[in-house]
């Protein structure tokens, strides 16, 4: 082990992470938290209000890096609990499959998904949550929106980095795009 790796979190120190971000893509997970009715149909989409990588305050989905040696399911659970609180009770299948793969680039015109810090590859999931959600330290707020509200022009203006498009893709993947 070198001093460049934080043993407790299995991640690089800030200087090393910045260097790596400039040389290779980083693997992320994006999770669109949803509430479902008794028939399994999406009734609400959860979106966080937080500071985006570009410094703006905007609505986003749950997102974060996958740690070295961490299963995708573990990364999803860690980020959902970190952002929505430990009582969110996400229902992640034993072998989750993403509804899409998203590539974020520093150039906002390359794919429409933008992260000014890096090229990131993210596996995107729709995740039902059934518990009591309370945003934790990194999020300013958590709002629950109907599919119509979540895809409205007003909400599109509140989202950055392509997350408005990601929410529409998530709803389309389960047949709930208004």
pLDDT tens profile 92-101: 999 999 999 9
Q: Give tens-digit pLDDT for 140-160.
A: 899 999 999 999 999 999 998
| Structural domains in the chain plus CATH codes | 35-173 (3.90.79.10)
Q: How far is residue 95's CA from residue 3's CA, in Å, rounded to a whole number? A: 34
pLDDT at 4 exceeding the cut of 50? no
- Structure pTM? 0.89
Q: What is the DSSP code string of 75-103?
A: HHHHHHHHHH-TT--B---SS---SEEEE
Contact (Cβ atoms closer than 8 angstroms) between residue 29 and residue 121: no
Higher per-residue pLDDT: 138 or 86 = 86
Q: Give tens-digit pLDDT for 67-118.
A: 988 999 999 999 999 999 989 999 999 999 999 999 999 999 999 999 988 9
Higher per-residue pLDDT: 51 or 152 = 152
């Amino acid at each position: 082990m070198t001093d460049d790796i934080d043993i407790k979190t299995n991640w690089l120190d800030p200087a090393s992470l910045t260097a790596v971000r400039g040389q290779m893509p980083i693997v992320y997970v994006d999770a669109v938290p949803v509430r479902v009715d008794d028939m399994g149909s999406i009734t609400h989409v959860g979106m966080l209000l937080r500071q985006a990588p570009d410094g703006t305050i905007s609505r986003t989905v749950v997102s974060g890096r996958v740690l070295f040696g961490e299963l995708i399911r573990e990364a999803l659970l860690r980020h959902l609990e970190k952002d929505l609180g430990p009582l969110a009770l996400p229902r992640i299948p034993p072998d989750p499959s993403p509804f899409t793969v998203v590539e974020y680039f520093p150039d906002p015109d390359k794919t429409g998904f933008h992260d000014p810090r890096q090229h990131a590859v993210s596996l995107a999931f729709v995740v039902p949550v059934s518990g009591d959600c309370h945003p934790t330290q990194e999020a300013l707020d958590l709002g629950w929106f109907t599919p119509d509200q979540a895809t409205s022009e007003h909400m599109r203006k509140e989202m950055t980095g392509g997350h408005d498009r990601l929410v529409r893709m998530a709803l389309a993947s389960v047949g709930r795009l208004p």
